[in-house]
Structure 1
Amino acid sequence: MEQYRRLGAIALMIGWLLVTALGYWLYQDKVTRPYTTIDSPIGHGELKRHLESAWTTLPGQGEAFSSGPTLIHFSTPQCHCDQQSRQHVSDLYDIFDGTALTLVQATQSYDATSTAMPRAQTIALPEFWAIVPAVPSAALFDASGTLLYFGPYSSGPICGAGINFVEDLLTRLDKGQPPSPWINDMAVGCFCKTGTYST
């Protein structure tokens, strides 16, 4: 009798593990997807130059954002990942509060409206949105206008839950260790295609 109880307990545990694994797999399958490899007719080097040119020639940019790095946030309220991304960006800003970091919320057109993030400046950047394959994503520039990063914030089913690409770069900058410029077109996480970029 004791043996049957043990076998029953083991069977229940195995069943619970299988149901849990299946639930997690279904959740991952529904929520996570590739960031979408940038299938661009131009290479990463030219893409970097295009973004730097668009950023440094923005009216008033030089005066407003020359004191430190600028983090540009791309997301849309229609994206189901937006709420988590906003919280993640807010947490990032709290971590680096007191540094020279500037946060910018990018809109897709000059007449677009956006729910502004706390402490973020809202700027129309249609030239950037034209090459953003999925959101949430970010662009990071140093004070001189050099592009340091372009791509997703992190990997994982929830923004900030996996590898924190942007946080790692900001930490290095804060320590005086400028990172090598990086266009990250490979990650798996909670992303929504923008529909503005052909892949």
Structure 2
Amino acid sequence: MIKASLFFTVWLFLTGLAYWYFMVKPQQWFDADMQQPPVLAEPSKQQTLQRLLQQQFPQLENGRAWFIRFKQSDCQCERFVELYHQSFAAQADAKTMQVVTLDLAKDAVDAETLGFIREVIPATPSVALFSPQGEVIYFGPYHQDGICNAENSYLEPVLASLRQGQELTVLNTLVYGCFCPIQ
């Protein structure tokens, strides 16, 4: 009887520790500094980001929307958006939208670009969506918590307005969830 209760106690402790490590510990504010408006609200910052992204991804063309995923492959929160992103990228209309991923942990990113990204993008996983005119129409996380899908994604309303030709700008940085600060 003592062995069973000891085993149960150890099991309960380890389960609680695992839950804390994987589910509670990574929970934080998307922008820990809570800058309002976000740094990326400035048109000059948007233009600089656009220029640096075009240097990083020469295939990005003006006149089409850009969906830029910022990730850090060593961030455990990426697992919550991976399937949604893969599904979205596969369904995106290449004639109207270019989808690229910048992995800040693996891709070769020059010092100027990385320094600027640290200034304007507080955490990953995150997205910057540029209109065909080159303006940031969405910036922030994919979702707030849990597994990201079309039903709980912050992007879906913005993408719908883009498809309908409506102008909408959402700079969504006051979100609490699973995020990793930019390293």
Q: 1:99 to 1:154 in 2, by over 3 A?
A: farther
Higher relative contact order, structure no. (Cα contacts within 8 Å, ≥ 6 residues apart): 2
TM-score where L is the length of structure 2:
0.69
Does residue 33 (structure 1) correspond to residue 22 (structure 2)? The answer is no
Q: 1:83 to 1:66 in 2, by over 3 A?
A: same
Q: 1:136 offset after TM fit, Å? A: 0.2
Q: What residue in structure 2 maps to residue 185 of structure 1? A: 173
Q: What residue in structure 1 maps to residue 6 of structure 2? A: none
Does residue 113 (structure 1) correspond to residue 111 (structure 2)? The answer is no
Does structure 2 retain, via aligned residues, the 8 Å contact 1:35–1:134? Answer: yes
Residue 148 of structure 2 is aligned with which of 132, 141, 159?
159
Q: 1:78 to 1:45 in 2, by over 3 A?
A: closer
User: How many pairs align?
Assistant: 162
Q: Describe how 1:127-166 pairs up with structure 2 within 5 A.
A: 127-160=116-149, 163-166=152-155
Q: Quote the sequence identity (%).
A: 22
Q: 1:175 offset after TM fit, Å? A: 2.1
Structure 2: distance between partners of 1:98 and 1:72: 14
Provide, for residues 87-127 of structure 1, a one-character-per-residue CA deviation record: whole Å limited to 9, x for no partner.
2211122333355111122254xxx733xxxxxxx976422
Structure 2: distance between partners of 1:33 and 1:55: 25
SS of the aligned residue for 1:130 comes to: helix
Provide, for residues 65-98 of structure 1, a one-character-per-residue CA deviation record: whole Å limited to 9, x for no partner.
2232101111111101223323221112233335
RMSD: 3.5
TM-score where L is the length of structure 1:
0.64
Does structure 2 retain, via aligned residues, the 8 Å contact 1:139–1:147? Answer: yes
Does residue 75 (structure 1) correspond to residue 71 (structure 2)? The answer is yes
SS of the aligned residue for 1:158 comes to: coil
Provide, for residues 111-162 of structure 1, a one-character-per-residue CA deviation record: whole Å limited to 9, x for no partner.
x733xxxxxxx97642223322111001111111111111111111223387
Structure 2: distance between partners of 1:56 and 1:133: 17
Q: 1:98 to 1:70 in 2, by over 3 A?
A: closer
Q: 1:174 offset after TM fit, Å? A: 1.2
- Structure 2 residue ranges without an equivalent (≥5): 1-15
Does structure 1 retain, via aligned residues, the 8 Å contact 2:73–2:106? Answer: no
Does residue 49 (structure 1) correspond to residue 37 (structure 2)? The answer is no
Provide, for residues 157-185 of structure 1, a one-character-per-residue CA deviation record: whole Å limited to 9, x for no partner.
22338731112211221122221x22211
Q: 1:92 to 1:38 in 2, by over 3 A?
A: farther
Structure 2: distance between partners of 1:170 and 1:56: 19
Does structure 2 retain, via aligned residues, the 8 Å contact 1:33–1:190? Answer: yes
Structure 2: distance between partners of 1:64 and 1:76: 21
Letter in 1 for 2:143: S
Structure 1: distance between partners of 2:162 and 2:46: 18
